[in-house]
Amino acid sequence: MTGFRETLSALFIEPKRLAWLDLSFNNIPHIHPVLTELTELRVLYLHGNSVCNFSEVDKLGTLPLLHTITLHGNNIETQHNYSVVTKQERVMASIWHRSRRRRKPTDRSTNNR
């Protein structure tokens, strides 16, 4: 990612306001420090690269608005604790599932009177 900072500055008036970035399929092995400066970043596509360590992904923890990141197709998939589903996604799915079970089916015969 040589010249990444310069490229962002040349393409955008305010690179720090970038909200969505697709860097997929670029053979990127490390998280470049400039990515951690994109404090408005919400979506980051990194699939199909060469990221292999959790410590690289941890660097993105400084981005307060980042809610979507893709890492499939990276070497990190072979790490022991790697999961395509996050803990938060599991919690949200569990909450949704419980809320669906609590709903009682509507008796359609009483609605037609």
Annotated domain spans of the chain: 4-102
CATH architecture label of 4-102: Alpha-Beta Horseshoe (3.80)
- d(Cα 86, Cα 90) in Å, to the nearest integer? 6
Of 63-67, 68-72, 92-96, least confident by mean pLDDT is: 92-96
Residue with the bigger pLDDT between 84 and 16: it is 16
pTM greater than the 0.85 cutoff: no
State yes or no: pLDDT of 32 exceeds 70: yes
Using CA atoms, how far apart are residues 57 and 52, in angstroms rounded to an integer? 9
Could you read off the pLDDT of 82-95 as tens digits, one per residue?
A: 666 666 766 777 88
